[in-house]
Amino acid sequence: MIPTRTPSKSVTGESGWLTQLLLNPRDRTVQRDLRSLSDLHRTVMRLVPDGLGDSPRSRAGVLFRLEADGTGSPVVLVQTALRPATDRLPDNYARAQVRSMEALLAALRAGLPVRYRLAGNAVRRCGPNSKAGRWKQALPLHGPEADQWWQDRAQAAGLDLRTLTSRSADAATTWHEPPTNTAATRLRVDRAVTLFEGTATVNDPVALRSALLNGIGRSKSYGCGLLSIAPAGRGD
């Protein structure tokens, strides 16, 4: 059984909005954001109001995933708990398309076949007596172990997996500035990301709705955890 955490209360908590951002690769802010997901996160947070107090990402229900295959303009899919203010993005940053999740959430029912996609930070934490690493150190999972990580969380999220394809994606790279008045250089942190795709059947619509709105796993501020689903055809 996967332990669950009670999510922070969102701004609306009832539905959500999906925003597709077709990034302008010539824009300097875009180029900066593609080098560091912490910078991309700050730009994405401009879609929601300021002054949300502690845990603004969680309160505003912000999740995002960078989708770039190297053949076209990169795309960022953003989910928010309230309608995004796309006019707050930098000029010439992206073309935005916004749609409500209301119809998708209303269609959820037991037995519904769906297609899914998730960029997950599949890790396990070391225990106090672990010989694999330091206590509480996050160790990335690969191959069958990563698949099992998703299978466990998919079940908790109300999905019965029918097919599963996984592959290692580009690491979620962030750059952290050193403390002022020190000689330290910027610190690079890479978080392992696995892309899971396939088909499933909904067995618990309430659990799935919660997973869609709150995300799955860790590193949500760095492009992980956004579960995307769409109804599947009979041939899927």
Confidence of residue 226 (pLDDT cuts 50, 70, 90): very high
124 strand-pairing partners: 139
Q: Is residue 136 within 8 Å of 125, Cβ to Cβ?
A: yes
pLDDT in tens, 199-219: 999 999 999 999 999 999 999
Q: Of 12-21, 123-132, 187-196, 226-235, which range is least confident?
A: 123-132
pLDDT in tens, 76-91: 999 999 899 999 999 9
CA distances for 216 relative to 64, 95, 122, 223, angstroms? 12, 27, 10, 11
Confidence of residue 138 (pLDDT cuts 50, 70, 90): confident
Sign of the alpha-carbon torsion through 195, 199, 202, 203: negative
Tell me what percent of the residues of the chain surpass a pLDDT of 90: 64
Supply the angle between the helices 28-35 and 37-44 in degrees, to the nearest 10: 120
Confidence of residue 131 (pLDDT cuts 50, 70, 90): low
Mean per-residue pLDDT, 24-51: 94
168 strand-pairing partners: 194
Strands 63-67, 17-23: pairing kind: unpaired
The per-residue pLDDT of the chain, averaged, comes to 86
**Domains of the chain by range and CATH?**
17-103 (3.30.70.1200), 107-231 (3.30.70.1210)
Q: Of 25-29, 149-153, 170-174, which range is least confident?
A: 170-174
Cβ-based burial of 196 (10 A; exposed 0-12, middle 13-18, buried ≥19): buried
Q: Is residue 58 within 8 Å of 48, Cβ to Cβ?
A: no
Mean per-residue pLDDT, 161-188: 77
Mean per-residue pLDDT, 58-83: 89
Mean per-residue pLDDT, 220-232: 94
Cα separation, 36 vs 189, in Å, equals 9
Confidence of residue 130 (pLDDT cuts 50, 70, 90): low
> Looking at per-residue confidence, does 10 or 186 come out higher?
186
Q: Of 25-29, 79-83, 179-183, which range is least confident?
A: 179-183
What pLDDT does 57 receive?
92
pTM of the model: 0.85
